[in-house]
DNA sequence: ATGGTAGGTCTCCTA
């Protein structure tokens, strides 16, 4: 049975429970992966009344937090604490069709792209290197990886490649690290398989005077799949309009459908 | 070159 999956950095699931409900009502993805829930699991709002009774989540007070909300049964298959940060940045679940879904919130990495001057940047690179080694050692099959990876890898994933070369999220060292992680797992970038050409963003800063008019976006949110199921993916899209909702997240949700 | 906005553990940290 085909299923539609969405990934969305919600930037506080408690503050934006209403927006989650709106997305669920209007778009009804079978599986919704959230990042930056900023909530302990026991304080997460319930979306069971909208049909999302299956939840696999990790949380902590105030920061980070990831959740997989599903209309179909999920089995919790664990989490990883890459770079030993003690943060809730990954959780994985197996859908009732056997597909494993990894939901990641990769560290943003601070402002200065130099690990000697900025510990957070080093942690981001370490996190990606440990992801790479994990997937290299245990090559995934029948799996999907989604989340806020906090890197826009392609020139057309940012509003200005040249102006962002030294800005954390688009530096060559980060792009290389993300590429190595992708290659280690054999991951196919499903969004770019479906939308191979043109500028494509999933995040616009809160700090812009008019985010829509300025359109200085970056594609930080990703949907990847292993080669055995990537061919079943189609209809990828970024719901840019969601960024324009009342009291929005600074990220728009990214969708894909899999005929499996 | 600077500062701009937003959320939560809220006068400081993270993004």
pLDDT of residue A37: 98
- The CA–C1' separation of A159 and B8, in angstroms, is 30
Q: Where are the beta strands (DSSP E) in chain A?
A: 3-9, 31-35, 54-58, 66-70, 74-78, 90-95, 100-105, 143-148, 188-189, 203-204, 217-218, 221-225, 233-238, 254-258
Per residue in A196-210, pLDDT (tens digit) is: 999 999 999 999 999
A43 closest-nt by C1' vs CA? B8
Most distant pair of Cα atoms in chain A: their distance: 50
**Nucleotide in closest CA–C1' contact with A107:** B15
The number of residues in chain A equals: 260
Helices (H) and strands (E) in chain A, counts: 6, 14
Q: Do β-strands A66-70 and A54-58 pair in parallel, antiparallel, or remain unpaired?
A: antiparallel
Work out if A110's Cβ lies within 7 angstroms of strand B. yes
Can you read off the two tokens belonging to residue A174? 């980060």
Mean confidence (pLDDT) of chain A: 98
- Chain segment A202-234, per-residue pLDDT in tens: 999 999 999 999 999 999 999 999 999 999 999
pLDDT in tens, A104-114: 999 999 999 99
Q: What digits encode the pLDDT tens for the residues A18-37? A: 999 999 999 999 999 999 99
Task: Please say if the pLDDT value at position A182 is more than 90.
Answer: yes
Report strand pairing: A3-9 vs A31-35: parallel
How many other CB atoms sit within 10 Å of the CB of residue A237? 17
Residue A248 has what pLDDT? 98
**pLDDT given for residue A58 in this prediction:** 98
A143 touches strand B (CB under 7 A): no
pLDDT of A1 > 90? The answer is no
Quote the percentage of chain A above a pLDDT of 90. 99
- The position carrying tokens 């957070």 is A120
| Half-sphere exposure (Cβ direction) of A89: Cα atoms closer than 13 Å | 20
Mean pLDDT of A224-247: 98
Give the model's pLDDT for residue A34.
98
End-to-end Cα distance, chain A: 6
The answer to whether the beta carbon of residue A59 comes closer than 7 angstroms to any atom of strand B is no
Token pair 């902590």 in the structure block, residue: A60
CA of A169 to C1' of B2 (A): 20
Q: Per residue in A120-166, pLDDT tens? A: 999 999 999 999 999 999 999 999 999 999 999 999 999 999 999 99
């Amino acid at each position: 049975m085909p299923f539609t999956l969405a990934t969305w950095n919600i930037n506080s699931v408690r503050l934006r429970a209403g927006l989650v409900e709106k997305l669920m009502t209007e778009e009804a993805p079978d599986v919704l992966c959230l990042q930056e829930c900023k909530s302990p699991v026991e304080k997460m709002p319930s979306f069971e009344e909208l049909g999302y009774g299956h939840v696999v989540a990790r949380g902590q007070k105030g920061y980070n937090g990831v959740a997989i909300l599903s209309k179909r049964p999920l089995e919790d298959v664990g989490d990883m604490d890459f770079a030993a940060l003690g943060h809730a940045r990954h959780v994985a679940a197996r859908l009732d069709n056997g597909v494993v879904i990894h939901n990641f919130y990769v560290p943003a990495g601070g402002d200065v792209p130099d690990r000697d001057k900025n510990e957070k940047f080093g942690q981001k690179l370490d996190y990606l290197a440990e992801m790479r080694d994990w997937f290299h050692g245990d090559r995934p099959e029948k799996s999907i990886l989604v989340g806020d990876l906090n890197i826009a890898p392609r020139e057309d994933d940012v509003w200005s490649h040249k102006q962002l070369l030294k800005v954390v999220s688009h530096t060559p060292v980060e792009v290389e690290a993300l590429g190595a992680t992708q290659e280690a797992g054999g991951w196919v970038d499903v969004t770019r398989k479906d939308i191979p050409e043109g500028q494509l963003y999933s995040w616009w800063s809160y700090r812009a005077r008019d985010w829509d008019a300025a359109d200085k976006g970056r594609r930080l949110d990703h949907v990847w799949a292993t080669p055995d199921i990537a061919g079943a993916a189609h209809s990828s899209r970024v719901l840019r309009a969601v960024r324009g909702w009342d009291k929005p997240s600074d990220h728009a949700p990214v969708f894909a459908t899999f005929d499996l």
